[in-house]
Amino acid sequence: MEIKILGKGCPKCQRLEELARDAATEAGVEATFTKVKDVDDIMAYGVAITPALVIDEVLKCSGRLPQKSEIITWLQGG
């Protein structure tokens, strides 16, 4: 599974990465994490406000920090 954190590296982006890593551990999912900081690459996902979370090339949320339980649900296919 591939998880991408879209954002320039602000505190919210860093927090989203922490949440996603914790969620993957709790869900028992092996994932690779990629930080996407280039504005053009971020906009290619249709994201105007960061942070954003992409799981296996599907945008799951942007412009907010999701709850860890939400991320776990997404990781489990929900």
Give residue for tokens 């406000």: 49
User: Quick check: is 45 in a domain?
Assistant: yes
DSSP for residue 14: H
User: Quick check: is 76 in a domain?
Assistant: no
User: Quick check: is 74 in a domain?
Assistant: no
Q: Assess whether 61 carries a catalytic annotation.
A: no
User: Quick check: is 73 in a domain?
Assistant: no
Backbone angles phi, psi at 22, to 5 degrees: -60, -45
Domain that holds residue 48: 2-67
How many whole angstroms separate alpha carbon 74 and alpha carbon 6? Answer: 17
pTM: 0.94
User: Quick check: is 78 in a domain?
Assistant: no
Of the candidates 8, 9, 10, 35, the residue annotated as catalytic is 10
CATH of the domain at 37: 3.40.30.10
Of the candidates 3, 5, 13, 19, the residue annotated as catalytic is 13
pLDDT digits (tens, 9 = 90+) for 41-75: 999 999 999 999 999 999 999 999 999 999 999 99
User: Quick check: is 41 in a domain?
Assistant: yes
Q: Assess whether 13 carries a catalytic annotation.
A: yes
How many whole angstroms separate alpha carbon 3 and alpha carbon 75? Answer: 9
Query: What total of structural domains would you count in the chain?
Result: 1
